[in-house]
Amino acid sequence: MISSWPLLSVITFLPLTGVLFLMLIRGNEEAIAANSRLVALWVSGFTFVLSLYLYVGFDPEMMGYQFEERADWITGSGISYHLGIDGISMPFILLATFLTPLSILASWKSITHRVRDYMIAFLVLEVMMVGMFASLDMLMFYLFFEGVLIPMFIIIGVWGGAERVYAAFKFFLYTLLGSVLMLVCMLVMYQMAGTTDIPALAAFAFSPEIQFWLFLGFFASFAVKVPMWPVHTWLPDAHVQAPTAGSMILAGVLLKMGGYGFLRFSLPMFPDASEYFAPFIFVLSIVAVIYTSLVALAQSDMKKLIAYSSVAHMGFVTIGIFTLTEQGIAGAMFQMISHGLVSAALFFCVGVVYDRLHTREISAYGGVVDAMPRYAAFFMFMMLASVGLPGTSGFVGEMLVLVGAWEASHWVAILAATGLILGACYMLWLYRRVVFGRAEKPEILEMVALDRREVMIFVPLTILVLWFGIYPATLLDVMAYTVSDIMANVASDLSIQTVMR
């Protein structure tokens, strides 16, 4: 029965019904706030439950796209309403629908003014995120990809910290600047191929000269989103200023849009250019891994430190993707999902103590373990996952990326591995300064232990991180076929080109 529904459309647009409900709520301010939270949580929770069916009904051994939907949109123009998922988009959809209710829960108490608007923004954001991963039409992809900016701009700008206006503008304009260059490339591709259908474009052979330019245009957009060094500077500002839940979604899902874009567009559509630019991307990624790790070491603001660590971790993702090996791509995918969970949890860790002490300065803390032992345990687990401890999901992704990188170039693998060491340095040091030591300040000892709501957020994240670490096949099997499909296409394109030369 459920299989006959247009399930992807339902999942994508279901949060809009929540928006509608939210707009209809009447009453005094408190009642509106309380009901808004509940409506948003229920709607996003229900969306998550529905999206689980995507996992259950997904056949990992099937080639091509599943749950496909196609409808007429702009007749006769090659632009249609086309949704579908494969092994690389399905995990991201689940990640987005999973993190949205958690982040709504995370802002349960910390957001007190304009709760209704906040929840509307989050639900709209969910629509945009899921829609983007589910789109199989380039124009639709762009609509959702850019549409994300609207709610995120509002979330950072209205509920952010002291410098929120600057951060929101920087986030918006930086990302927009990258995206419009991609837009021009999309127009060129549409003109050449006569369609915006992603599967058709992936099958279309763009000449190597054109690929060169198209790749750069898409790169401008995705590199900003990932973000890659040196266009990462919007990220620390946006993260530090965004409210906790905003950071969770930003790091958890929005950063993955760049990596997903590389896998969905750059590799299948511009294989020659991808090969050509791979060394260039390795250089940028290694700089990102090492340089931002060093920068993270120097931070005195917890959120900023984790933000820089995100840049470093995403450096691994770009290395993995452009090794053009199966291990590398699978590792990059795994790393993205893992980072989505771990960084969301880490930002929530910061949010938890921020709610209590209202500062993000590392030096203001110390000895938190005395007051909040359970928090210290969760934080430690997530910190170790971020460092890449075996048994956590962080290890699997980094390991696979390094294996792929070793195949591509020994030097890349060696240099990237130094990033792992630096990562351990700044994370362990952060943990020591915040959690251990003697609790000298009286306000630290007065910190309230984790309440049930906060535990409810940590537990599912912890379980998943642990599960993926112990049994990574859950995730790897889902995407194995798609990854090898992408690789096979890239390899055959490249070999054809070599023969022709």
Partner 1 sequence: MEFSQITISAALPEFILISLALVMVLIAAFAKQSETDGEGSIKMVRTLSLLGYFAAFLALFSVPDGRVVLFNELFAVNDLVIYMKGLILVGAFFASWLVSEQWGEGVDRPEFHLLVLMAVIGMLLMVSANNLISLYMALELQSLPLYVVAAMRTSSLKSSEAGLKYFLLGALSSGLLLYGASLVYGSSGSTNFDAIASSLSGGASVGMIVGMVFLLSGLAFKISAAPFHMWTPDVYEGAPTPVTALFAIVPKVAGMTLLMNVTYSAFGNITDQWMQILIALSVASMIVGATGAIMQQNIKRMLAYSSIAHMGYALAGLAAGTPEGASAVVIYMTTYVFMGAAAFGVIMTMRREGTPVEKISDLAGLSASHPLLAAAMMVVMFSMAGIPPLAGFFGKWYVFLAAVNAGLIPLAVIGVLTSVIGAFYYLRIIRLMYFEDSDAPLDDGASHQNRLVLIVSVGFILLFFFGIGALSQEASSIVSVYF
- What 3-state class would DSSP assign to 264? helix
Q: Which of 187, 202, 294, 480 binds partner 1 (CB under 8 A)?
A: 187
By the rule CB under 8 A, 442 interacts with partner 1: no
| Nearer CB in complex with partner 1: 63/173 | 173
- Per-residue HEC secondary structure of 395-430 comes to HHHHHHHHHHHHHHCHHHHHHHHHHHHHHHHHHHHH
Both tokens assigned to 375: 């928090």
Q: Does 32 participate in binding partner 1 (rule CB under 8 A)?
A: no
Among residue numbers 106 through 125, which ones bind partner 1 (CB under 8 A)? 117
**What does R_g of the chain's alpha carbons equal in angstroms?**
22
Name which position in 45, 60, 78, 147 contacts partner 1 (CB under 8 A): 147
In the bound state with partner 1, the residue whose beta carbon lies nearer, of 114 and 441, is 114
Beta-ladder partners of 85: 66
> Which tokens hold the place of 446?
């007065």
Looking at the Cβ atoms of 139 and 352, the one nearer to partner 1 is 139
Number of residues that bind partner 1 (CB under 8 A): 35
Out of 30, 59, 61, 72, the only residue in the binding site for partner 1 (CB under 8 A) is 72
| DSSP assignment of 94-157 | HHHHHHHHHHHHHTTTT--SSHHHHHHHHHHHHHHHHHHHHB-BHHHHHHHHHHTHHHHHHHHH
The answer to the question of residue 150 lying near partner 1 (CB under 8 A) is yes
Residue 216 engages partner 1 in binding (rule: CB under 8 A): no
What residue ranges in 234-362 does DSSP mark as E strands?
A: none
CB of 235 to partner 1, least distance (A): 19
Angle at 125 between CA 121 and CA 128, to 5 degrees: 145
Count other Cβ atoms within 10 Å, centred on residue 455: 14
Angle (nearest 5°) at CA 199 between 183 and 8: 90
Shortest distance (Å) from residue 57 CB to partner 1: 28
Q: How far apart are CA 134 and CA 144, in angstroms?
A: 10
Among 7, 168, 430, 461, binds partner 1 (CB under 8 A): 168
Query: Do the beta carbons of residue 417 and residue 387 sit within 8 Å?
Result: no
CB 404 within 8 A of CB 323: yes
Stretch that binds partner 1, among 58-66, 96-104, 143-151, 299-307 (CB under 8 A): 143-151
Output the six-digit token pair for 498. 């070599």
- Binding part of the chain for partner 1, among 171-179, 225-233, 415-423, 482-490 by CB under 8 A, reads 171-179
Q: Which is nearer to partner 1, 153 or 322 (CB)?
A: 153
Nearer to partner 1, 79 or 312 (CB): 79
The only residue of 16, 32, 176, 389 in contact with partner 1, by rule CB under 8 A: 176
- What is the smallest separation between the CB atom of 242 and partner 1, expressed in angstroms? 13
Indicate which single residue of 48, 142, 365, 378 sits in contact with partner 1 (rule: CB under 8 A): 142
Closest contact distance (angstroms) between CB of 212 and partner 1 is 14
Shortest distance, CB of residue 165 to partner 1, whole angstroms? 5
Does residue 188 bind partner 1 (CB under 8 A)?
yes
Give 139-142's long-range contacts (Cβ < 8 A, gap of 24+). Answer: 139/79, 139/186, 139/190, 139/196, 140/81, 140/82, 140/83, 141/198, 141/264, 142/179, 142/182, 142/183, 142/186
Q: With respect to partner 1, which residue has the nearer C-beta, 180 or 357? A: 180
> Which region among 140-148, 236-244, 250-258, 378-386 touches partner 1 (by CB under 8 A)?
140-148
Contacts with partner 1, residue ranges (CB under 8 A):
72-77, 117, 139, 142-144, 146-147, 149-150, 153-154, 157-158, 164-165, 168-169, 172-173, 176-177, 180-181, 183-184, 187-188, 190-191
